[in-house]
Chains A and B, each alone.
Chain A
Amino acid sequence: MTDYQEYLSFLYRALESQNKNKLVLCENTALVADIGLSSLEVMEFIEKIEDHFDISIPLNILPDVNTIGDLAKKVRELNL
């Protein structure tokens, strides 16, 4: 099982190309409100995560995901 911090690290790296304002990312960084991802960019980012971990992330969980930390926890749960 990969540790939560490892999921966070992966997400930070995966977000590099979409972090246009070069924010310093942390687990409390909001994907939409802070980084400014559009709904389309969120879905592209989700696909990147899915392919990396070979999982499918249900749309149902997305309303509960605001920050990178929220997403890391959800991905960890799905990948257990």
Chain B
Amino acid sequence: MLFDKFQTMADFQAELAERHVEPFGAVTEKILSATEGVVQGRNVILAGTNNYLGLSYDPRCIKAAQDAAARWGTGTTGSRLANGSFAEHRALEAEIAAFYGVDHAIVFSTGYAATMGMCATLAGPGDVILLDADSHASIYAGVKQSGAEVIRFKHNNPEDLAKRMRRLGDRAGQALIIAEGIYSMLGDVAPLKDIAAVKREYGGYLFVDEAHSMGVLGETGRGAAQAAGVEADVDFFAGTFSKSLGAIGGFCVSQHSELEAIRFCINAYMFTASSSPSIIASTREALRIIAAEPQLRQQLWDNANRLYDGLKSLGLPVGPTASPVVAVEMSDRSLTIDCWKALMEAGVYVNLVIPPASPSSNFLLRNSVSAAHTSAQIDAIIAGYASLVTAGLIAPTKAA
């Protein structure tokens, strides 16, 4: 039957309803600040928003969006190829290219469209793509559409990438290597220095998705490749406007002039309406703020370290290093749901992640930190987790 394949999900939804818990698509009824809201009737600290720099609620970004809506209207009602290229879109493309120190940029309507569209288009039949095994769903969707031969390399494992490049022989020089800056679920950073070294040894093209690392890593906030000092080895940078830039949209920038021809071959760019002018305007303002206010990144990392150290001191199973994404891994689905619910009741709203969205068979309580969080809010999040330990819902993995 057509609907049989959805039965597992329907059963899971029924289980959640029976337990009176709604972790997926919980409705935010009111936003009080970049880090507080009313969700499912509760005042909560927003601890899973990817709003890394808190710019979604910055008055300057809001004003820019309001002014643009008044000047340009609420939407473009058309594709970039038809009537949807406004001066704002072209200005943002010039500014995001300048931010990365390259000459070419494409702005997309979503981050998903940017990575999916680029990965579906750059390589085609007869080409080879090597992608990190833990790549985002948009990347997997893109490479599947591409028609290229698709090979996974082990997550964050440059040696495995090198081995697979060696196996390609002469074809390695034309291969497209895909990695991310920070991986969204566990917050781990790609070893881009070593990945770039593999590219230098075997050839090929390197595509880096900086969705979770732009505005977060690097001397000027360009991301993980800048932090690793290997930007010159990266052929294509992709990213999103929906995380550190606080809006929605995506981009790809490159030093290759061919990007201007590629633009007209990307279905995800051509066959969708362009972003509303208000979104583009707030993104432009946010980009200016990222460039002008490096202290936001410092504040973000201070908060990330505070949360990471706090959860680690409780003995919780967090990753090996601090990151703005701090995930607590659990093996029992039912207990993870109980923990998510208890955190909500304690006023802490985090992400519940289940396989296959998590990179292993484990379940995640995923926290993302913002520069806008106060120290007191970070401590309240830690206290929420401490109450889980006290209640016996989650066991420390080692002595605290």
Q: Which residues of A contact B361 (CB under 8 A)?
A: 38, 40
Within 8 A of A (CB), among B297-322: none
**Contact status of A60 and B360, CB under 8 A, knowing A43-B133, A47-B154:** no
Please, how many angstroms separate the alpha-carbon atoms of A47 and B151 in the complex?
Answer: 11
Of residues 52 through 79 on chain A, the ones whose CB sits less than 8 Å from some CB of chain B are 54-60
Which residues of chain B have C-beta atoms less than 8 A from A39's C-beta? 356
A38 — which chain B residues lie within 8 A by C-beta?
361
CB proximity to A under 8 Å, residues B161-211: 164, 167-168
Contact among A40, A43, A54, A58 for B151, CB-based, below 8 A:
A58
The answer for the CA separation of A47 and B149 in the assembled complex, in Å, is: 17
Q: Which of the four size classes fits the interface of chain A?
A: 10 to 19
A39-B356, A40-B361 known; A56 and B151 CB under 8 Å?
Answer: yes
Find chain B residues with CB under 8 A from A40 CB. 355, 360-361
Complex partner residue of A56 from B144, B164, B360, CB under 8 angstroms: B164
Known A-B contacts A54-B167, A55-B167; the reply to A43 vs B360 at CB < 8 A is: no
The residues of A that contact B167 with a CB separation of less than 8 Å are: 54-56
Tell me, yes or no, whether B150 is within 8 Å of chain A by CB: yes
Contact between A59 and B356, CB atoms less than 8 A apart: no
From B150, B154, B355, give the contact of A60 (CB < 8 A).
Answer: B150
Is B288 part of the contact surface with A, judged by Cβ < 8 Å? no
- Chain B min CB distance to A74 (Å): 13
Is B333 engaged at the interface, CB distance under 8 Å to the other chain?
no
Contact indicator per residue, chain B 140-161, by CB within 8 Å of chain A (1) or not (0): 0001100001111010000000
B residues near A60, Cβ cutoff 8 Å: 149-150
Which of A43, A54, A55 makes the CB contact (< 8 A) with B152? A43
**Across the two chains, which residue of chain B brings its CB closest to A61?**
B149
Task: Please name all residues of chain A whose beta carbon is closer than 8 Å to the beta carbon of B154 when the two chains form the complex.
Answer: 47
The one of B133, B149, B356, B360 that contacts A58, using a Cβ cutoff of 8 Å: B149
Q: For A59, what are the chain B residues with a Cβ–Cβ distance below 8 Å? A: 143-144, 150-152
B150 touches A58 (CB 8 A): yes
Q: Which of B152, B356, B361 has the most CB of A within 10 A?
A: B152
Contact with A along B358-374 (1 / 0, CB 8 A): 00110000000000000
Bound Cα distance from A56 to B154, whole angstroms: 12
Instruction: Enumerate A15-61 residues with CB–CB distance to B below 8 Å.
Output: 38-40, 43, 47, 54-60
| Nearest-CB residue, chain A, relative to B167 | A56
Question: What are 9 A-B residue pairs whose CB atoms fall within 8 Å in the complex?
Answer: A40-B355, A40-B360, A40-B361, A43-B133, A47-B154, A54-B167, A56-B167, A58-B151, A59-B150
Q: Which residues of B contact A (CB under 8 A)?
A: 133, 143-144, 149-152, 154, 164, 167-168, 355-356, 360-361
**Chain A interface (Cβ < 8 Å from any Cβ of B):** 38-40, 43, 47, 54-60
- Give me the 9 closest cross-chain CB pairs, A-B, nearest first: A59-B150, A56-B151, A58-B149, A56-B164, A56-B167, A58-B151, A58-B150, A40-B361, A60-B150
Q: Contacts A58-B149, A58-B150 known; list 18 others, CB within 8 Å.
A: A38-B361, A40-B355, A40-B360, A40-B361, A43-B133, A43-B152, A47-B154, A54-B167, A55-B167, A56-B151, A56-B164, A56-B167, A56-B168, A57-B151, A58-B151, A59-B150, A59-B152, A60-B150
